[in-house]
Amino acid sequence: MTLHDIDDWLRTELGADKFPVSEQGGIYVPSDRPVERIGLALEPPPQVGNWVQKNNLDALWLHRPWQLNQAALPPNVGVLYHHLPFDETLTTGYNKPMAAALGLFELETLGYKTAPDLADAHLPPRPIGMMGTVPSRSFTNWTELIDSLFGGYDRAEFGSVRVPEKVAVVGAMNPALVQEAHERGVGLYLTGEYRKGTQAAVDETGMAVIAIGHRRTEGWGLRALADVFRKKIGVKVYV
């Protein structure tokens, strides 16, 4: 397994081709070294060179690689990165592994992102979030589930529906998305960050909201990515 093999596989796994070329990610530091052991991190860890040497890593995958001190890496250690493709595929958004963990089924898209630049107008619209039918759970049960999956949450607001039949998982929070979710029968809105400018829409619709915290959703996504690495390509993974 080479760095290029893993890059090609991740391009498909994370749907990188749906993004503008500048946002697709890929190989950050090239290497021709065979990859049997890979380290995954959101950012370069402190003493990154020591971490690589201690675990005899052949490559790294980083969500945000920009502060990486390449001089600290041992020779011929390759680095991959994906920023937006990771965020939109494995944190709050249209995220099938997260839907499975939360018990969502009969998934539907909620909202779309459109290309900000005419040069990217040929790209398909990307879902902002998903919604689905869920097992019967009280709001308290939902907070307990979120706590167990993500290690906590930033904010939880009761809504007018105490046992939601549909839940949305969305990578953004604005009045239009909350209103659309309400109109489509959603009773609980899960997102990363609570946006104060959406409070009037929350009050008007009676929407229950749990803001998990973006860092927690990234941590969940990192663990999910590690699981996919182990199951699908069989490399030794360090997180």
Q: Is 122 annotated as a binding residue?
A: no
Domains 3-86+219-238 and 93-211 share a fold: yes
Domain ranges for the chain, please list them: 3-86+219-238, 93-211
- Does the CA dihedral 235-213-162-89 come out positive or negative? negative
| Mean pLDDT, rounded, for 208-233 | 97
The mean of the pLDDT values for the chain is: 96
Q: What is the pLDDT of residues 201-220, one digit of tens each?
A: 999 999 999 999 999 999 99
pLDDT of residue 115: 59
Q: What is the pLDDT of residues 44-66, one digit of tens each?
A: 999 999 999 999 999 999 999 99
Regarding the domain delimited by 93-211, which CATH topology (the fold level of the hierarchy) does it fall under?
3.40.1390
For 107-151, the DSSP string reads EEEEEEE--SSGGGTTSPPEEEEEEEE-----HHHHHHHHHHHHS
Q: Is 13 annotated as a binding residue?
A: no
pLDDT of residue 213: 98
Residue 114 pLDDT greater than 80, yes or no: no
| CA-angle at 129, arms to 123 and 134, nearest 5° | 140
pLDDT of residue 175: 98
Q: Which two tokens stand for residue 45?
A: 């860890």
pLDDT of residue 118: 59
User: 66-74, long-range: CB within 8 Å, 24+ apart, which pairs?
Assistant: 67/43, 68/28, 68/29, 68/44, 69/44, 70/29, 72/47, 72/48, 73/29, 73/48, 73/49, 74/49
**φ, ψ at 46 (rounded to 5°):** -55, 145
- Residue 153: DSSP 8-state: -
- Architecture of the 3-86+219-238 domain: 3-Layer(aba) Sandwich (3.40)
pLDDT of residue 110: 98
pLDDT of residue 117: 65
Question: pTM of this prediction?
Answer: 0.94
| Mean pLDDT, rounded, for 25-54 | 97
Quickly state the pLDDT bin for 31 (edges 50, 70, 90).
very high
Share of the chain above pLDDT 90, in %: 93
For 46-83, the DSSP string reads TTHHHHHHHTT-SEEEESS-TT--GGGSPTT-EEEE-S
Quickly state the pLDDT bin for 116 (edges 50, 70, 90).
low
- Residue 38: DSSP 8-state: E
Q: Is 182 annotated as a binding residue?
A: no
**φ, ψ at 154 (rounded to 5°):** -85, -35
| Mean pLDDT, rounded, for 122-134 | 93
Q: What is the pLDDT of residues 135-167, one digit of tens each?
A: 999 999 999 999 999 999 999 999 999 999 999
Strands 126-133 and 105-113: antiparallel
The Cβ-side half-sphere exposure at 137, using a 13 Å CA radius, reads 19
3-state secondary structure of 162: coil
CA 228 – CA 203 distance, rounded (Å): 39
